[in-house]
Amino acid sequence: MALFKSMDNLEDGKKQVVNSEATEKVKCLIIGSGPAGYTAAIYAARANLSPVMYEGMEPGGQLTTTTEVENFPGYPDGVTGPEMMEDLKKQAERFGTDIRFGLATASDLSKRPFKVTIDGNKNVEAESLIIATGATAKYLGLESEEKFKGQGVSACATCDGFFYKGKDVAVVGGGDTAAEEATYLAGIVNKVYLIVRKDYMRASKVMVERVMNTPNLEVLFEHTTKEIVGDMSGVTGVLLTNAKGEEVKKDIHGFFVAIGHKPNSDIFKDYLETDDVGYIITDPGSTKTKVDGVFACGDVMDSHYRQAVTAAGSGCKAAMDTERFLGAL
Ligand code: NDP
């Protein structure tokens, strides 16, 4: 009889490893399947570490929600996010990675082998663990936002800004990311509206100055987003509410959400060092966490670059760090 607990405990952040008879032992376990996870898998498989990967809730990661990727080296004509992830998956499988559908729901990293619970009902015991669970962009939660995701609504200006060359766009958020995305977009598009809910921006002084000194960037303080409007072609405008409660409409083709990211580190953070937001802290220049044998790569440990290519690079490092760790045992 399998003795596993219910998944109720997933809600409260105190996720516990289940007592389960269904335990499997693996040498190298990779959690997460974005560019970091797949690259770690390619390197680990080629190093004969027999990696087992659990893909997580969103197989392929954040890139599967974008359309065209034009800045990943090696694709001179661009590639769609889902196609690129499929290519990476095939490459990882070609060298023998065992890729499985499943979500890591709890962990016990207090000693080796590390225990990771999958889907609340199966334990995997791992000699080494690579965490590549990524980060999830926060969205406003509007129905219209969901409807136009990938068709004008984006959470990454570096990824999608180019498609709005010469057009008008809006960015929502008042932090450094919003300021950075808005000024980046201003260099590409015709006009940027920056929608800030308060009467000031939380971004650093230097970034606020840059925003204010960008001629084709207009900050709409004390405005909130009511609805994103569009048609078959995608986004055509945004309805806002100003401080007086009046409705304001702006004609735009791109709506960029920059209200922060949430790193997917919840199930590991009782054991690892994280920053205030939850990004896993690794040794400088390495993927080593504070637990020997546990490595973190990609957006779950990188709040700054957040690019597919930088995530892939850190996935490579994580596999090499793992190989050295296992080799030294
Ligand atoms: P932040 O949490 O700093 O800012 C989020 C912004 O989004 C805030 O202005 C917040 O408004 C706004 N916001 C949140 N929810 C909503 C909502 N529902 N509707 C409207 N607005 C909303 O996130 P960032 O991603 O900007 O930055 C994260 C960290 O990374 C920060 O420490 C930042 O300094 C750092 N960073 C540094 C960079 C650099 O140094 N170049 C570049 C990018 C990020 P409010 O202020 O009202 O709460």
Residue 61's pLDDT is: 84
Residue at a domain's end among 257, 281, 314: 257
CB 223 within 8 A of CB 200: no
Residue appearing with tokens 């889907």? 119
- Kindly state whether residues 14 and 117 are assigned to the same domain: yes
pTM of this prediction? 0.77
Are residues 291 and 232 both part of a single domain?
A: no
| CA pair distance 286, 290, nearest whole angstrom | 11
Residue identifier of the C-alpha nearest atom 33 of ligand 1? 176
**Domain finish residue from 212, 236, 257:** 257
Report the domain count for the chain. 2
Q: What DSSP string describes 60-116?
A: TGGGGG-SEE-SSTT-TT-EEHHHHHHHHHHHHHHTT-EEE---EEEEE-SSSSEEE
Ligand 1 lined by 155 (C-beta under 6 Å):
no
DSSP 121: T
Boundary-marking domain end, from 257, 290, 307 = 257
On whether both 169 and 122 belong to a single domain, the answer is no
Residue 176 alpha carbon to ligand 1 centre in Å:
6
Strands 168-172 and 191-196: parallel
Domain with residue 293: its CATH number is 3.50.50.60
| pLDDT by 10s per residue, the chain, length 329 | 222 223 333 444 446 777 665 689 999 999 999 999 999 999 999 999 999 999 998 888 877 766 678 889 999 998 988 899 999 999 999 999 999 999 999 999 999 999 999 999 999 999 999 999 999 989 999 999 999 998 999 998 988 899 999 999 999 999 988 999 999 999 999 999 999 999 999 999 999 999 999 999 999 999 999 999 999 999 999 999 999 999 999 999 999 999 988 999 999 999 999 999 999 999 999 999 999 999 999 999 998 898 899 999 999 999 999 999 999 98
| Structural domain containing residue 8 | 2-136+261-327
249 and 273 together in one domain: no
Q: Both 73 and 176 in a single domain? A: no
In degrees and rounded to multiples of 5, residue 23 shows phi and psi of -110, 135
- Closest atom of ligand 1 relative to the 303 alpha carbon: 30
* Same domain for 307 and 236: no
Same domain, 235 and 246: yes
Same domain, 224 and 268: no
